[in-house]
A and B are shown apart, each in its own frame.
Chain A
Amino acid sequence: MKVKDIEGVMRSKFPDAPLHMDESGLTGALWSMAVPISGIRDAAGAFDAAGFFLESITALDFEDTFELVYHFNCYEPMSRVVVRVLCGHGQVPPSICDIYRGAVWLEREVHDFFGIEFSGNPDMRPLLLPEDADYHPLRKTFGKVGAYHKREVIYG
């Protein structure tokens, strides 16, 4: 099974990174791994070599940090995997758009909503917001906000 192979590959690439197996099925993924910001390109390259596709990139805004969440999936049953990258406010993560072409638009959307710059993405124009927009709506410091927490409030 491809997802078992990639688990071995990721464990060997990032031996210190915490890997949580998900027994409950809530996250929709078999396991999720927290990867350092410098290792995301390595991880994406490994998934690409294994034949996975990039399902979605999104971000979460906490008081102390941003968190980028990458969902990878392959065409076999029950093979979704989550890679999480902690990225401080103002940090610039590397782009994976040369590995996955679809990441160009996904990263543009994250940049639109959160203001996270991705170095190496050739096209950082606004995707969903007007061309002259200078605000980042999904930040918890913009507009009407229900709650704003530190990361440990939700993930412990």
Chain B
Amino acid sequence: MAEQDTTRASQRVYTLNLGPQHPSTHGVLRVLLDLDGEYIVKADPVIGYGHRGHEKMGENRQYRQFLPNTSRMDYLSGMLFNHGFVLAVEKLAGIQVPERAKYIRVIASELNRISSHLLWFGTYLLDLGGFTPFLYAFDDREQILDILDSVSGSRLTYSYCRFGGVSRDIDSKFIDMTRAFLKRMEKRWADYDGLVTKNIIFIRRTRDVGVIDAELARRYGVTGPNLRACGVAFDVRRSEPYEVYDRFEFEVPTGSRGDALDRYSVRFMEMRQSCRIIAQALDHLPQGDFMAGKVPQKLAPPRGEVYSAFESARGLSAYYLVSDGGPGPYRCHIRVPSFGNLNVLNDVLPGTLVADAISILGSIDVVIPEIDR
């Protein structure tokens, strides 16, 4: 931590270390802030404190041995990343998936998206100083975790989606629990509105804070709710429909100003749209197999490459697998949305107050182990 004197004694820039041990909401992030008083002059995020070598592990493993890694990258959207990986490998190996399995995967993925946004909501408000929404959000989140736990056996890191389908079929208990959850959430939105959205302190701390305009977002490759808050309606589920997303009616919510309040509103509306998708999927759930027959244990896909994009809770994610015909990938690269989302802070943080920096960091919704892989 160095203090550097510039030419005038009244302008002393002080370097402050924010992290890597942080009130643990985002993971291990370190931001080197150059401060002039309380105003940030320069911000330099330092990452790598969660680097576990997923991409190297991918090259040393067979495809099915990489399944546990997929959930642990972005552990809040574990099901979504798991889903994306099996989509990529199925494309590569040419495995057909039965219809019922597709619907089940979509239901599980959307439930995971809601639980990720709920956790973000709780921890964001915790960062801003409000403890109550955290308890409300986690209570709702536990309902989702119960549902996913009953069918996959795991609360946080799932390997539920397998090559060719899912590992277990959903039963009437799952469907009843999900419908009960959707019914419960219909009343909860009003609770959250009254508790948070109309709270004057919250509005003061998020309106016009951390404005990202669409051109800056494009230069950094920002995607997901952060981009949609700038007014760009870009959602992978709409632009490159995968699984059965093209059969469902849902809106892609956008904001107008690109500030933290817009990012909050976009995520809230997304949760409601996810509930809509789940309701439609449950109504149209077909009978049939939950797993394709005759999927070999050891896959040996043909030589070539596949790039399969999907919409995780944080934005556009993709798996880039290069196969040399062997039992595992030659190169396994994962495109993660939080990479660009965090990178944009290099240009957004300067000029803001330190307290606003906390609000901006929280509103971007980054998960550091996803960036670090």
A and B touch in the complex (CB under 8 A): yes
Q: Bits for A52-88, please: 1 = Cβ < 8 Å to B, else 0.
A: 0111101011000000010101011111101000000
List residues 23-63 of chain A with CB under 8 A from any CB of chain B: 25-29, 51, 53-56, 58, 60-61
Does B232 lie within 8 Å of A27, measured CB to CB? no
Does A55 lie within 8 Å of B322, measured CB to CB? no
Neighbouring B residues of A155 by C-beta, 8 Å: 303
Mind listing 30 A-B residue pairs with CB under 8 Å? A26-B91, A26-B306, A27-B305, A27-B307, A28-B240, A28-B307, A28-B309, A29-B307, A53-B218, A55-B316, A58-B333, A60-B322, A60-B331, A71-B307, A75-B232, A75-B234, A75-B239, A77-B239, A77-B240, A78-B239, A100-B219, A101-B347, A102-B343, A104-B343, A128-B47, A129-B51, A144-B56, A146-B60, A154-B305, A155-B303
Neighbouring A residues of B56 by C-beta, 8 Å: 137-138, 143-144
Neighbouring A residues of B324 by C-beta, 8 Å: 147, 149, 153-154
Q: How far is the CB of B258 from chain A (nearest CB, A)?
A: 15
Question: Is B74's CB within 8 Å of the partner chain A?
Answer: no
Question: Is B55's CB within 8 Å of the partner chain A?
Answer: yes
Question: Is B340's CB within 8 Å of the partner chain A?
Answer: yes
- Nearest A residue to B306, CB-CB: A26
Give the size of the chain A interface in residues (CB under 8 angstroms). Answer: 47
- Nearest A residue to B333, CB-CB: A58
Question: Is B372's CB within 8 Å of the partner chain A?
Answer: yes
Neighbouring A residues of B316 by C-beta, 8 Å: 55, 73
Question: Is A127's CB within 8 Å of the partner chain B?
Answer: yes
Question: Is B68's CB within 8 Å of the partner chain A?
Answer: no
Neighbouring B residues of A28 by C-beta, 8 Å: 240, 306-309, 318
| Known contacts A28-B318, A78-B239; A102/B326 CB under 8 A | no
Task: Choose from A54, A73, A79, A137 the contact partner of B53 (Cβ within 8 Å).
Answer: A137
Neighbouring A residues of B162 by C-beta, 8 Å: none
Neighbouring B residues of A71 by C-beta, 8 Å: 307, 318, 320, 335
**For the complex, what is the distance from the CA of A77 to the CA of B33, rounded to whole Å?**
39
- Nearest A residue to B303, CB-CB: A154
List residues 129-156 of chain A with CB under 8 A from any CB of chain B: 129-130, 137-138, 143-147, 149, 153-156
- Nearest A residue to B218, CB-CB: A53
Question: Is A105's CB within 8 Å of the partner chain B?
Answer: yes
List residues 194-223 of chain B with CB under 8 A from any CB of chain A: 218-221
Neighbouring A residues of B232 by C-beta, 8 Å: 75
Does A128 lie within 8 Å of B373, measured CB to CB? yes
Question: Is B130's CB within 8 Å of the partner chain A?
Answer: no
Task: Choose from A54, A58, A69 the contact partner of B221 (Cβ within 8 Å).
Answer: A54
Neighbouring B residues of A118 by C-beta, 8 Å: none
Pick the 7 closest A-B CB pairs, nearest first: A28-B307, A102-B220, A77-B239, A128-B48, A56-B335, A75-B234, A102-B221
Q: How far is the CB of A3 from chain B (nearest CB, A)?
A: 11
Task: Choose from A26, A101, A138, A144 the contact partner of B305 (Cβ within 8 Å).
Answer: A26
Does B318 lie within 8 Å of A26, measured CB to CB? no
Does A77 lie within 8 Å of B238, measured CB to CB? yes
Neighbouring A residues of B39 by C-beta, 8 Å: none
Neighbouring A residues of B335 by C-beta, 8 Å: 55-56, 71
Question: Is A126's CB within 8 Å of the partner chain B?
Answer: yes
Q: How far is the CB of A48 from chain B (nearest CB, A)?
A: 8
Q: How far is the CB of B11 from chain A (nearest CB, A)?
A: 24
Q: How far is the CB of B64 from chain A (nearest CB, A)?
A: 15
**For the complex, what is the distance from the CA of A46 to the CA of B232, rounded to whole Å?**
21
Question: Is B160's CB within 8 Å of the partner chain A?
Answer: no
- Nearest B residue to A54, CB-CB: B221
Given contacts A28-B307, A55-B318, A129-B48, 20 further A-B contacts (CB under 8 A): A26-B306, A56-B335, A60-B322, A61-B331, A75-B232, A75-B233, A77-B239, A78-B240, A80-B240, A80-B309, A101-B347, A102-B344, A128-B48, A128-B51, A128-B372, A130-B48, A137-B53, A147-B326, A147-B330, A154-B324
